[in-house]
Chains A and B, each alone.
Chain A
């Protein structure tokens, strides 16, 4: 059931999968293996954000709050309540992410468009404040340590290579899940809500409910990614749910291409390797990162694929203006 042109993509995906499967076994230094692991985790949460931005038209700056809720949830459960089981951890992530999304959705979905953006920024910062100030529960600025990566059934995945495969497996499952969701009738309604909320309302769809459900799904997936991230670092801190991370996630989505899902893996890889590479090279890496934000939103608002496409068109002598981000949301 695969159309002729898509064989090329199947081949690319198969080669890509083969490469990432052998990567930790092929003598790649541990440092890079762990950067790839972080890439898989960031890609999961960026895809969950893409469900909101690219498919539902909700530009959320609160995605790191859902991510952080999962991370803190599993860390608190492990250190205070001795729940260190793998499946329990994943379940905590799902529920914590969805729970925070359920509360945020109630408040933020009262507004639309730019109002939604402003409220999600405020809510994200309030979650950060909670993590920063509620020292007796969250450890404040010092965060929480003292928990380890659990066994997956009989398998010990505490090594960097082992955990790499866990995160890769989650990435593949979440990607498949999100592709299935966006292609389902439910996903088509979401696209309708993104493009013409008014018409969908007139057709009798409960636009608010669809947006709310999209937020719950995105929150749950981001929460699971947060759990993986907590295990990855074996540490959680306020940096796991701050506005900077939410912004980085949005930059990943823009780089990967809004509404592309697959592209977020590439976007996440670039952001993870770039920020780690810069911080290894120079102390002033935030300054450079800020400048890179400028370059991305001004010159690559349609993502890397879009930039490539425009370069090809310009070489053919055709005009190819860069689109506004706003125009890609509707």
Chain B
């Protein structure tokens, strides 16, 4: 286990964290704003991966396929929210069970449409090579994914800090009632955040596809990772989602390399530590 081992897992972990961020950023904002635990986020990821994959086999460009996958899940998310969820903001359990029921339906549809076999997803041809530095070898796509994800994170941060809608969202996360009292139309931001969260997760599906592949049950495997991210980072915090994603991505990568039979279990360690020392999460605020 020379330095190459550590650098390789470091990069792999950050790449994995990048795809987690695409799921968890929407998850944390949806929760922070609407108090809805949207379990369908990882199912959106899976749908995005499959839709993108299908388009690629029809000779679409990789990035365009990812975008169309994201738009598909954005439409699904918009439908789920505007038809059902918007009525159950105050009721955590109802909204959670609705997203669970929706996930069950999406999972079964995936199985019906794409079958039960795992599909591997190739990175775009220009990024399918490996980079080599001495004994260190890693796919160039890892770096690309990290860069793309950080760029999306940067856009989100600027949006949240600099635009009017971002300010409204931040205000409503802090105190929805007061924001409404000031005459701001908060409801519009609910629809936008839920749809955008679904868009990011669906986009993440194809972007992360070269790393996770696509198979039924992948969403169930990603769910605890996304949850660990928001527990570690703090619910409702975008910077928390970024830091938490990278941390969980790294723990996951090193866990898989060092304790292959317990890689899932190693996620438990940061979650337990955070709960013991800082229950509101790294970037969370005490309610």
Interface residues of A (CB under 8 A from B): 59, 107-108, 110-111, 113-115, 117-119, 121-123, 125-126, 128-130, 132-136, 242-244, 247, 250-251, 254, 283-284, 286-287, 289-294, 297-298, 301, 324-326, 329
A138 to B104, CA, bound (A): 26
Contact check, A325 vs B91: say whether CB atoms are below 8 A apart.
Answer: yes
Q: Are B108 and A125 in contact, with the CB atoms below 8 A?
A: no
With A130-B264, A134-B261 known as contacts, the answer to whether A122 contacts B101 (CB < 8 A) is: no
Chain B residues near A324: list those with CB within 8 A: 88, 90-91, 94
Residues of A within 8 A of B263 (CB): 129, 133
Residues of A within 8 A of B260 (CB): 133
Chain B residues with CB under 8 Å of chain A are: 35, 37, 39, 84, 88, 90-94, 96-98, 100-105, 107-109, 111-112, 220-221, 223-224, 227-228, 230-231, 235, 260-265, 267-268, 271-272, 275-276, 279
Query: By DSSP majority rule, is chain A's interface helix, strand, loop, or mixed?
Result: helix
Question: Within the complex, which residue of A129, A134, A136, A286 is in contact with B107, where a contact is CB–CB below 8 Å?
Answer: A286
Docked pose: A130 CA to B268 CA in angstroms: 11
Give the one of A135, A254, A297 with max B CB within 10 A.
A297
What are the residues of chain B within 8 A of A247 when measuring CB–CB?
A: 97, 100
Given the complex, which residues of B lie within 8 Å of A297, measured CB to CB?
93-94, 97-98, 101
Point out the residues of chain B lying under 8 angstroms from A250, CB to CB: 93, 97
- A326's partner among B94, B104, B221, B265 (CB-CB below 8 A) is B94
Minimum C-beta distance from B281 to chain A (A)? 9
Inter-subunit contact B224/A129 (CB<8 Å): yes
Closest residue of chain B to A59, judged by CB? B93
Q: Is the Cβ of A293 less than 8 Å from the Cβ of B37?
A: no
Q: Which residues of A contact B103 (CB under 8 A)?
A: 290
Which of B84, B91, B97 has the most chain A CB within a 10 Å cutoff?
B97
A286 near B97: Cβ-Cβ < 8 Å: no
A267 vs chain B, min Cβ distance (A)? 14
